[in-house]
Amino acid sequence: MALKTLSAKAAAALDKDLMSTGAFSIDQLMELAGLSVSQVVYRVHPLNKGRRILVAVGPGNNGGDGLVAARHLRHYGYQPSIYYPKRSKKELYQRLAKQLEDLDVPFVDDFPTALQSADHVVDAIFGFSFSGEVREPFPPVIQAMAESKIPVTSVDAPSSWDIEEGPPKSGVGSNFHPDVLVSLTAPKPLVKHFKGRHFIGGRFVTPGITQKYDFDVPAYEGIDQIVEVGPEGLKL
């Protein structure tokens, strides 16, 4: 049985449904997503493996998920730092950044230098809505993650990957294969190209949504917001 996935178009429609008939706010969805990402990092990279987490943050919702994850990681006892070169002017993102500043989480300007002293990286640059070319200043960031030996956890999609087709055939991101992927709500088709550890974070989806978009909700345990799945979608 193949893992059921959501196309980029379906994922966008699903988010719209969640925020209209589902009565969720964008803040809530981002908080749930970031919480899931933070739990995955705690699972794959416990504190005894090193506390320094570098979070690469993009300009959109994927970046917002990364900012939320960083806040939770700080409260877990990690020492996150944030690379956030294209800050959004929207109030939501400004509030998320302020929350981190109030926790004395540093914002860094030089990603390659920050990477040298990191124990783990969270890739929250681009999500399911990404398409086209990777624009500055992100090509060297993605290249640095690809070439580094430091483990990377990607949020919803490895940045630069096509949501349907996976890694680019050439150029930026063609050699980027993160160690861990957190699929938010449900996996996207690119998972068939992904070889690392795969988690799903979507413990808020209603039966009506899963039926409408034809995907399965895995069996979450206890208070976990995440579940690790294999290539066939079976829980590990």
The CATH number linked to 47 is 3.40.50.10260
Q: Which pair of structure tokens corresponds to residue 196?
A: 């690392």
Residues belonging to the binding site are: 61-65, 123, 127-133, 156, 159
Q: Concatenated DSSP letters for 148-184?
A: -SS-EEEESS-TT-BTTTBS-SSSTTTT---SEEEEE
- Residue 84, classed as helix, strand or coil, is coil
pTM of the model: 0.96
Mean pLDDT check: name the lowest of 72-86, 125-139, 152-166.
Answer: 125-139
Please count the CA atoms within 13 angstroms of the CA of 155 that sit on its side-chain side. 34
Residue bearing the bigger pLDDT, 128 or 181: 181
Annotated binding site for K(+): 62, 123, 159
The answer to whether position 19 is within a domain reads yes
Look at residue 44 and tell me if it is in a domain: yes
pLDDT at 217: 87
- Kindly state whether residue 3 falls inside one of the protein's structural domains: no
Q: Of 157, 121, 132, give the one whose Cα is nearest residue 33.
A: 157
Please tell me the total count of domains within the chain. Answer: 1
Model confidence over 14-47: pLDDT tens digits? 999 999 999 999 999 999 999 999 999 999 999 9
Whether 2 maps to a domain, the answer reads no
Is the CB of residue 202 less than 8 Å from the CB of residue 171? no
**Which residue is it, tokens 């949020």?**
155
Does 1 fall in a domain? Answer: no
- Domain extent, residue 137, equals 8-233
| Domain membership flag for residue 32 | yes
Residues making up the binding site for (6S)-NADPHX: 61-65, 127-133, 156
Beta strands 79-83 and 227-229: pairing type? unpaired
What does the DSSP 8-state code read for residue 235? B
